[in-house]
Chains A and B, each alone.
Chain A
Amino acid sequence: MSGYLLEGKDLTKEFPAGKNKTVHAVSKVSLGLVEGETLGLVGESGCGKSTLGRMMIRALKPTSGEVFFRSRPLTAMSGKEFAAVRRSFQMIFQDPYASLDPRMTVRDLIAEPLETHHICSGKKEITERVLELMDAVGVPGDFLYRYPHQFSGGQRQRIGIARAVAQDPEVIVCDEPVSALDVSVQNQILNLLSDLKRKRTLTYLFISHDLSVVRHISDRVCVMFLGKICESGPTGEVWAAPAHPYTSFLLRAVPKADPKERTDASLLLTGEIPSPIDPPTGCRFHTRCPFAVKQCAEEEPPLRTRGERTVACHFPLDRNGT
């Protein structure tokens, strides 16, 4: 028994890129979700965080590796077996404009998962459930027969959330759920997600590129770089004293909303993210890392555990950042 509700082991995903080339989107990543926690997954675009999130709930088939749900192998299940547990997993997407069918009313949109999973039947009962759900996510009940285009982005995201929680899932993968929204509305949605988690005992895998969002919402965090996890641990600890140089540069690059705390140009990363088609040898970060030595280019650093934290670096930073 691993103690994890949902656990991915050595997950790898490769996509063909033509001419015998391969995109190494995710390479041998292991990830575990404890029941009731929010696990943040951060990284820059193209680091494989969405791919990993999708593999965790079998929305995408891994090239190799396995996923376990309550210690049962999810990846090895037949389609029939999986259908029985599928309602335990849901996803919330980034773009509330693209993820709702524009020709369906709010009632039908939220009723769809209820009908698919035979949670309730009969027009009246379904409408009642839909109204309950709308109330839970803060969309007024009088909007029952409106269409998605009549709502603002924030309200659309609320409808998306109502759809996700309709079937009482256990795990929700939130893929950048607030990045398309205005700042003042982002916080409303984050508060709603925290509130729902408490009331419905949910477990979140929260994917985001926004370090302040992840800091607020997740109990633990995994930092990804180019298809690998480079660091993980309790969010507060990792943010206060990052052990991997990449995490430290990432945190430093965030533009802080205080003119007195302007970023020192000499502390910025140079260069761009390497291509996942031809990832660097050894430590994948070594081409951008100012501390890299010969060993970093030759040998891949193993994921080392120190208490609750893990780091994949030959020369992890200590508390003083050296």
Chain B
Amino acid sequence: MHNILEVRHLSAGFSARKSEVKAVDDVSLLVPEGKIVGIVGESGCGKSMTARAVMGLIRYPGRVISGSVLLDGRELVGMPEKEKRALRGSKMSMIFQEPMTSLNPVMKVGRQVEEAIRIHEKVSREEAAHRSVEILTSVGVPEAEKRCLCYPHQLSGGLRQRVMIAMAMILDPRLLIADEPTTALDVTVEAQILQLMRTLSSGGTGILLISHDLGVIAQVCDHVYVMYAGRIVESAETAELFDRPLHPYTRGLLNSVRSLRGGGDVLDTIPGVVPNLMRMPAGCGFSPRCLECREECVRDVPRLVDEGDGHLIRCFLYEGEAAE
């Protein structure tokens, strides 16, 4: 299958007081055409930074340190800003968690959607207006013509997110990056937006979905990457990952999921907290919280090895087996 996005050995971070802090460390991932690929992890694991690195949206003092990002075969790392700007919005777009902070509060939403077209294509105002109503309707905004005349604050959170999606999708991009697109929404609206994501991907768009919520990932993703402390620690097809989680962190995360059916009195937890980027452990990033931590885990960083059928795992518990 054709890969729309290919990220190879990407590292990104910040320079801080003489030392370098790596927020994203040697991340490789693929987003195939028409598929939804998820990155799951807790706050500070580097998932948003990865997304911003792909879009070329990391602000100073952050920067891409090394690696390569290919969009439909074109290298984005090191591409002149002007060329990248032409790609953003037309070939790749991004939506964020809180739509209110991404929309212009003093501009009618119709205008904002039109702007997305008019920046990239030479079209008349009428044509742009006509196309915005069309796209807003297709992402499920009722009475789109009337809503075009509203300001963002007059819309509900769910509608605002739909407007953002419309702006992102209007030029039919190859890649859509969605960074926690439903975290600020209520469950009944969240379910609607997730459904919309599925519809968009079946139209051929590759979607990179970033979330901390295993429920969201399980519902829509075809493939999942689990990130912890800047590194990918496990990656597999969604069904495989939920059936056979290998990494102690992934297993811990899945055990922490509370069921609606209830369960025992005491909930499973992962002890400790996510490490601070400035004080990252030397070996495996998860070692201070890991119950199966060994001597080598504290000393060295495990490699990402294939456990069969493309199920990748970065843990010493499996590295020995693969070598045998």
Contact surface of A with B, Cβ cutoff 8 Å:
44-45, 152, 154-155, 182-188, 190-191, 194, 209, 211-213, 215-216, 235-236, 239-240, 249-263, 265, 268-273
* B35 vs chain A, min Cβ distance (A): 14
Pairs across A and B, CB under 8 Å, 6 listed = A183-B214, A184-B253, A212-B260, A261-B218, A263-B195, A263-B219
Interface flags for B200-214 (1: CB within 8 Å of A; 0: not) read 000000000000111
A273 to B190, CA, bound (A): 13
**B188 in the interface, Cβ–Cβ < 8 Å?**
yes
| Chain B residue at minimum C-beta to C-beta distance from A180 | B43
Total interface residues on B, using CB and 8 Å? 46
Q: Are A216 and B258 in contact (CB under 8 A)?
A: yes
Interface flags for B128-172 (1: CB within 8 Å of A; 0: not) read 000000000000001000000000000011110000000000000
- CB-defined contacts of A273 to chain B, threshold 8 Å: 156, 186
The 8 closest A-B pairs by CB, nearest first: A255-B215, A212-B258, A44-B186, A184-B270, A187-B267, A253-B191, A257-B214, A182-B42
A263 to B260, CA, bound (A): 14
Q: Are A209 and B254 in contact (CB under 8 A)?
A: no
Q: Are B260 and A251 in contact (CB under 8 A)?
A: yes
A77 to B305, CA, bound (A): 68
A149 to B235, CA, bound (A): 34
Q: Are B187 and A211 in contact (CB under 8 A)?
A: yes
**B274 in the interface, Cβ–Cβ < 8 Å?**
yes
- CB-defined contacts of A188 to chain B, threshold 8 Å: 269
Contact surface of B with A, Cβ cutoff 8 Å:
42-43, 142, 156-159, 186-192, 194-195, 212-219, 238-239, 242, 252-254, 256-263, 265-270, 273-274
* B315 vs chain A, min Cβ distance (A): 17
A184 to B158, CA, bound (A): 27
* A153 vs chain B, min Cβ distance (A): 8
A311 to B275, CA, bound (A): 47
- CB-defined contacts of B191 to chain A, threshold 8 Å: 252-253, 255, 263, 268-269
Q: Are A255 and B260 in contact (CB under 8 A)?
A: no
Q: Are B238 and A259 in contact (CB under 8 A)?
A: yes
Q: Are B269 and A255 in contact (CB under 8 A)?
A: no
A212 to B189, CA, bound (A): 17
* B92 vs chain A, min Cβ distance (A): 25
Supposing A263-B191, A268-B188 touch, asked if A191 and B218 sit within 8 A by C-beta, the answer is: no
A265 to B215, CA, bound (A): 16
- CB-defined contacts of A183 to chain B, threshold 8 Å: 42, 212-214, 253, 256-257
